[in-house]
Amino acid sequence: MTAPTMLDWAVVCPLDLLDPDRGAAALVDGVQVALFRTGGELYAVDNLDPVGGAYVMSRGIVGSRGGVPTLASPLHKQVYDLRTGRCLDLPDVALRRHEVRCRNGLVEVRLRQEG
């Protein structure tokens, strides 16, 4: 087996379109991605709520739990670690993560084709 397939970086939007501490949904290669800008970092996870099954994660509230940057699902408030995607309230539940960076004032995302 080789490492997970990496697609190319896709330019999404200027950084200043992302409000601090508030998510935004983006469509990257047909996949809904939730982008967050919080605590000076950028995070990208799947927009799909793995528990509720709706594409809503970009509308959750970001915050922190014991120093860990977090995202709470707007449907039923399960809290996820934005760095790892791991759900902090339910075992064996996780958000798929994607790579995200800022280049020349533009936010870029590279999908991770895990699993």
Partner 1 sequence: MSERREGNSGGRVVVVGNGMVGQRFVEALRARDHERRWRVTVLAEERRPAYDRVRLSAFFDGASAEELNLHTPDDGVELRLGEPATGIDRARRVVTTAAGEHPYDALVLATGSYAFVPPVDGTDLPGVFVYRTLDDLEAIREHARGRRTGAVIGGGLLGLEAANALRLLDLSTSVVEFAPRLMPVQVDEAGGAMLRRYVEELGVTSYLGVATTALRPGPDGAVAALELSDGRTLDAELVVVAAGIRPRDELARAAGLPLGPRGGVLVDDACRTADERIWAVGECAAVDGTCHGLVAPGYATAEVVADRLLGGAATFPGADTATKLKLLGVDVASFGDAHGVTPGCLDVTFTDPATRAYAKLVLSDDAQTLLGGVLVGDASAYPTLRACVGGPLPGPPLALLAPAGGATAGVGALPAAAQVCSCNAVTREQIDAAIADGAADVPALKACTRAGTSCGSCVPMLKQLLDAAGVRQSTALCEHFAASRQELFDIVRVRGIRTFSQLIAEHGRGRGCDICKPVVASILASLGTGHVLDGEQASLQDTNDHFLANLQRDGSYSVVPRIPGGEISPEKLIVIGEVARDFRLYTKITGGQRIDLFGARVEQLPQIWRRLVDAGFESGHAYGKALRTVKSCVGETWCRYGVQDSVGLAIALELRYRGLRAPHKLKSAVSGCARECAEARGKDFGIIATETGWNLYVGGNGGFRPRHADLFATDLSTEELVRLIDRFLMYYIRTADRLQRTAAWIEAMDGGLDHLRSVIVDDSLGLCAELDAAMARHVASYSDEWRDVLEDPDRLRRFTSFVNAPDVPDSSITFAVERGQPVPVRGAPPAAAADRRRQPVTLGLPEVRR
Structure tokens at 40: 């000076």
Residues whose CB falls within 8 Å of the CB of residue 72, separated by 6 or more in sequence, listed in order: 60, 61, 62, 63, 78, 79, 80
Instruction: Please identify which residue in 4, 65, 101, 103 interacts with partner 1, judged by CB under 8 A.
Output: 65
The answer to whether 114 contacts partner 1 (rule: CB under 8 A) is: no
Burial (0-12, 13-18, 19+ Cβ within 10 Å), 2: exposed
The answer to whether 91 contacts partner 1 (rule: CB under 8 A) is: no
Distance of closest approach, residue 44 Cβ to partner 1, in angstroms: 12
Contact set with partner 1 (CB under 8 A):
12-13, 17-22, 24-30, 32, 35, 38-39, 48-56, 59-67, 69-70, 72, 74-75, 77, 79
